[in-house]
Structure 1
Amino acid sequence: MRYDAQSTQTQAQSKALSPEAHRVLRNTYMLLGMTLAFSALTAFFAVATGLRLNIFVFFIGAYGFMFLTHKLADSAWGLLSVFGFTGFMGLSLGPILSMYLGAGMGNVVVSALGMTALVFFGLSAVALVTKKDFSFLGKFLLVGGLVLIAGIIANLFMGLTNLHLALSAGFVIFASALILFQTSEIVHGGETNYIRATVGLFVAIYNLFVSLLALLGMSND
């Protein structure tokens, strides 16, 4: 009986988050909530003003801000940079949302938002409750990300609907894996910087929402 009690206590302690992991997780979710709200505001601004971003401006801005944020993540400037990055990504959503709203597909936007929230909280709960190590997904994310980017560039010239559909489905899988990976990294101490963790989760949520929006929009058509 005494052995069983000690074993149970040891297992409970091994499953509990370390103080450092708890701090990073708390700060990450706080910053993620604020950046999502700021991104929503910039997206609303883009819709209201009819702002459009050239595809090359988008790639330069998105990856430029992401690189800058990672470089500044260990300083106070990282906070300013992460809001710059997420705000820019919100602006890029404006034309997409305008297209769906203008076509009378507001229900598709709401459905995509709801499904994004459901997937994010569901997968986050899996990583947090089970404490499973999803670090093995790192190589998949690296290769998968490169393949998806190559597919996007190729489809800019080909404009194939079926390829766009396949890319959207691929990004749903990629974003889901990224949520599991990033949350697991925080839980197991692989990621100790909440700014970098926020960027990872924000990118996952952004890609998940845009991809679900495309898939639901096509099915609605």
Structure 2
Amino acid sequence: MHEHEYALGHAQADQQAVSRVLRNTYGLLAMTLAFSGVVAYMAMQANAPYPNLIVLLVGYLGLFFLTAKLRNSVWGLVSTFALTGFMGYTLGPILNMYLGMANGGELVSTALSMTALVFFGLSAFVLVTRKDMSFLSGFITAGFFVLLGAVVANLFFEISGLQLAISAGFVLFSSACILFQTSAIIHGGERNYIMATIGLYVALYNLFISLLQLLGIFGSDD
């Protein structure tokens, strides 16, 4: 009897922890998306240049590892907004480039709508079915290194169709990350809402950029 009560109490505590992480994650994600959107708009209005590769890597990796180190303190929230604000800044010049096209506004709005649809669809699928997506960890790890190699190759070699393949690969990679991260929260693999937020934010950022690139390629008159 006591063992049954203990097991029931433990299950309820786990469910409460999951609910708390989900609530905090989606709340923080909404705030960081809004904040990065404001920063992106300011960068667009200032016609800010896109940072060079060194600044991009140092800014992103430095802030990412700082956030991971501070994830259990209130300073982790500060570094989370610093990271997402920096990524919002990098989005500004990209949006200006696409909005400068004849059909730029349509491309951006379509990519944004598709990103929202994919995110809510995949998240709802995991939350409703409660499927364990931990098996995607191997795919995500392999995909990361494959895409990294493709991006490096694209910097030095002009290979026809490589950019298209990279963008399509990032769409699949980002979708897998959303499934994996959401599953990790509801199955106890992720109990830190700051890291969960960063994982989902980066997946959304890459998904949006990749969809925008694909739409730009297919919508080009060249």
| TM-score between both structures, scaled by the size of structure 1 | 0.91
For the residue of structure 2 that corresponds to 1:18, the secondary structure is helix
1:157 is matched with 156
Whole-Å Cα distance in 2 between the matches of residues 161 and 214 of structure 1? 15
1:36 is matched with 33
The ranges of structure 1 where at least 4 consecutive aligned residues each deviate by more than 4 angstroms after the TM superposition are none
Matches within 5 A, 1:86-101: 86-101=84-99
Q: Which amino acid aligns with 1:193?
A: N
Instruction: Find out whether 1:196 has 2:192 as its counterpart.
Output: no
1:80-103 CA-partner distances (Å, limit 9, x unpaired): 000000000001111110101111
1:27-69 CA-partner distances (Å, limit 9, x unpaired): 0000000000011011111111111211221122111111111
Whole-Å Cα distance in 2 between the matches of residues 218 and 192 of structure 1? 39
Deviates more, 1:56-65 or 1:109-118: 56-65
Q: Which amino acid aligns with 1:130?
A: T
Q: Which amino acid aligns with 2:40?
A: A
Whole-Å Cα distance in 1 between the matches of residues 105 and 181 of structure 2? 31
Whole-Å Cα distance in 1 between the matches of residues 100 and 160 of structure 2? 20
Whole-Å Cα distance in 2 between the matches of residues 75 and 159 of structure 1? 45
Whole-Å Cα distance in 2 between the matches of residues 102 and 161 of structure 1? 24
1:129 is matched with 128
1:3 is matched with none
2:44 is matched with 47
Instruction: Find out whether 1:26 has 2:23 as its counterpart.
Output: yes
What RMSD over aligned residues (CA atoms) do the two structures have, in Å?
Answer: 1.2
1:174 is matched with 173
Whole-Å Cα distance in 2 between the matches of residues 109 and 196 of structure 1? 28
2:79 is matched with 81
Provide the identity percentage. Answer: 57
Whole-Å Cα distance in 2 between the matches of residues 65 and 160 of structure 1? 32
1:103 is matched with 101
Whole-Å Cα distance in 1 between the matches of residues 166 and 61 of structure 2? 19
Whole-Å Cα distance in 2 between the matches of residues 139 and 31 of structure 1? 28
- State the 1:159 CA deviation: 3.9
Q: 1:70 aligns with which of 68, 71, 94?
A: 68
Whole-Å Cα distance in 1 between the matches of residues 155 and 46 of structure 2? 26
- State the 1:160 CA deviation: 3.5
Q: Which amino acid aligns with 2:213?
A: A
Whole-Å Cα distance in 1 between the matches of residues 116 and 136 of structure 2? 22
Aligned length: 206
1:207 is matched with 206
2:7 is matched with none
For the residue of structure 1 that corresponds to 2:72, the secondary structure is coil
Matches within 5 A, 1:128-147: 128-147=127-146
Deviates more, 1:18-27 or 1:56-65: 56-65
Whole-Å Cα distance in 2 between the matches of residues 41 and 137 of structure 1? 33
Q: Which amino acid aligns with 2:34?
A: A
Whole-Å Cα distance in 1 between the matches of residues 70 and 160 of structure 2? 39
